[in-house]
Amino acid sequence: MLEGSPRTYRHSLARPSVYRIGFSLAKWVPRPVLYVIADLLADVTHRAGAEPARNLQANLRSAFPRWTDREVEELSRRIFRNFAGNLVDYGRFHTISDKALDRLLPSIEHLHYLEKSFAKGKGVILVTGHIGNWELGALFFGRHGYKFNVVTIPEGSERIDSIRGTYRMRQNIRTIVVDGSPFASLEIVAALRRGEIVAMLVDRWEGSDGIPAKFLGEIRRFPRGPFVLSRATGAPILPAFIVRDGNGYRGVLDPPLSIDEAEDEPGAQRVSESLERMIRANPDQWYNFAPR
């Protein structure tokens, strides 16, 4: 039912040692100081010109063909800085108080779409992309009483998988790893039948059977998984995003869709349009380090 991409493309800072150091520093170092350190590390890794930086700039040129090389270079630098800032916040989430978390993400726009989706009694398939801080979204919903499951592929590093899994468990967020085993699909269906949220990143796909949809001026393929699940379980699909807004974040939900309302290709196009709107509104938070 679901497939995973055969390779994960990580930012240069997405390493087990960085996670461990970041979690330790987050307990003692003030947030503004952490951001300064993160900016310095981001600038160093950006200037190194490793594969993720080259991939990112190629994606930006494709998405924004009218931009000059200088504009693309500056935007990619900001993206590296924002990604490093996300890692700072990721390390702080499990150490700060509930009140501080509420200040970071006070509310989510159009939350009634979630209530409408749950009213069907079939669970919710929440879809998002590599934009903003998707981990904070899981934390928000989990803290507000929703049973939350994150569908993920192996990171290619058992230590990173372990770090993220442990972190999520502390926040009552369950991780379902799609590793080729049929049991992953059974776990996902079971979670939806219990009326829970199942969240998926859908903007990177390397399978040959994806659903074509226009995305940022080109035809790209989106995974069939969310649409197959919606058809099989009756669960609506809900696009959702968490993006940085000043010193905090804001959440945005788009109208839900289900396979009863749209076939695969129109449904994929609606998801693509939601994702594209967020990217165009927040291009410096699009963390697409994978090749085109």
Residue 279 φ/ψ, nearest 5 degrees? -65, -45
DSSP 100-146: HHHHHS--EETTHHHHHHHTTSS-EEEEE-SBS-HHHHHHHHHHTT-
Per-chain mean pLDDT for the chain: 83
* CATH code matching the domain that covers 16-285, chosen among 3.40.1010.10, 3.40.50.150, 3.40.50.920, 3.90.950.20: 3.40.1010.10
* DSSP state, residue 131: B
DSSP character for 187?
A: H
Per-residue confidence band for 79, with pLDDT thresholds at 50, 70 and 90? very high
Most confident range, picked from 12-16, 194-198, 202-206: 194-198
Q: Which amino acid is at 245?
A: D
Identify the pLDDT of residue 274. Answer: 96
Most confident of 11-15, 154-158, 161-165, 190-194: 190-194
pLDDT in tens, 231-264: 889 999 999 999 999 888 999 999 999 876 557 8
User: Confidence class of residue 58 from pLDDT cuts 50, 70 and 90?
Assistant: very high
pLDDT of residue 6: 40
Return the higher-pLDDT residue of 168 and 8: 168
Share of the chain above pLDDT 90, in %: 45
The residue ranges of every structural domain in the chain are 16-285
What's the whole-number mean pLDDT along residues 124-131?
Answer: 95
Residue 92 is predicted with a pLDDT of: 74
Tens of pLDDT along 146-177? 899 999 876 554 555 555 555 566 566 888 88
Structure letter (DSSP) for residue 284:
G
